[in-house]
Amino acid sequence: MKKWKQYVWLLVLVLTLGLAACANNAEPAKEIKQEEKVAEAAFPVTVKDAFGDVTIEKEPAKIVSLIPSNTEIAYALGLGDKIVGVSDFDNYPEDVKNKEKIGGMEFNVEKIIALQPDVVLAHASSAHNSEEGLKQLKDAGITVIVVPNATSLNDVYASIELIGKATGKTKEASDVVKQMKQKIDAIAEKAKEVKEEATVWVEVSPAPEIYTAGKGTFMDEMLTIIHAKNAAGDQEGWPMFTEEDAVALNPDVIITTYGYYTPNAVEQVLARPAWRDVPAIKNKRVYDVNSDLVSRPGPRLAEGVEEIAKAVYPDIFQ
């Protein structure tokens, strides 16, 4: 009789443990279903673009980008396969060569509509010149997101997060911003080794119409990050200088950003007779950097900070 009771209790114990195991195994299934619901509920989503609130009804399957910076951000978020059209000015990454070109400042409305995108990524820097075209896209039932103009790194981070939210890539956007900040923070930390601040003249357009970068530009912010002085830092935006006024600033380093369309940009600056007594010329400290890395409001700006740091303080950053 005792043996029989032992068997009964053993059977109850086995059944109890079995049911508990089943219950435990059922929990993850519930969690997966909840996660699926969360994923499904991510759209519609509302974002605030340059002109107000925009609602995206469903996750975009096809995207057209009207400006290179938006394209670079989209690719960084893993949206390359969804991009069906880009501007004539797009040059990065390499894959943009395989995309349909939809025009430059004046985009081809009919061609964009024919591509049947769910979302068009426009930009505030050109939106006011293309209001009619953007209205036609909206009238055709296409969602248009106008990314705000960016004049600082924080603005760029916000642009990345905006595009990420609008396309279902919130986590990816957060990761891209985090990586940019980490790279820039590391450069800023290393820049603490700078003992004597260099004065830098940034030339974004050559003579006879010489333009430079003043306050409120990425270049000015980059120079601040690496502990360098912007020779035109008391000016706003993109001022034009006479050759005489530029020479009077007596910079230690000259950085040009137009080598992509001006052959031998560095050699031309070094050969200017009126500049021969400027320290940057005497010490042959003239460098050309990729304009896209220091002026295009996208993920590669972190690389731009590094390029500037290497040019201005090669002993510390090389």
Kindly state whether residue 253 falls inside one of the protein's structural domains.
Answer: yes
Distance of alpha carbon 294 from its chain centroid, rounded?
11
pLDDT band with cut points at 50, 70 and 90 for residue 314: very high
Q: What is the DSSP string of 91-127?
A: --SGGGGGSEE-BSSSB-HHHHHHH--SEEEEEHHHH
Kindly state whether residue 160 falls inside one of the protein's structural domains.
Answer: yes
C-alpha torsion sign, points 228, 234, 239, 240: negative
Q: What percent of the chain has pLDDT over 70?
A: 87
Q: Do 203 and 140 fall within a single domain? A: no
Q: Do 65 and 148 fall within a single domain? A: yes
In this prediction the pTM is 0.86
What's the structural domain count of the chain?
Answer: 2
Domain that holds residue 49: 45-176
Kindly state whether residue 18 falls inside one of the protein's structural domains.
Answer: no
Q: What is the CATH number of the domain that holds 50?
A: 3.40.50.1980
Q: If DSSP codes are grouped into helix, strand and coil, which group holds residue 86?
A: strand
Q: Which of 145, 176, 207 is the last residue of a domain?
A: 176
For the stretch 105-147, pLDDT in tens is: 899 999 999 999 999 999 999 888 899 999 999 999 999 999 9
The H or E element containing residue 10 is helix 2-40
Asked if 93 and 149 count as a contact pair (C-beta separation under 8 A), the reply is no
Of 38, 60, 56, the residue nearest 47 (C-alpha): 56
Q: Do 269 and 223 fall within a single domain? A: yes
For the stretch 228-250, pLDDT in tens is: 999 999 999 999 999 999 999 99
pLDDT band with cut points at 50, 70 and 90 for residue 47: very high
Q: Do 221 and 166 fall within a single domain? A: no
Kindly state whether residue 184 falls inside one of the protein's structural domains.
Answer: no
Asked if 42 and 167 count as a contact pair (C-beta separation under 8 A), the reply is no
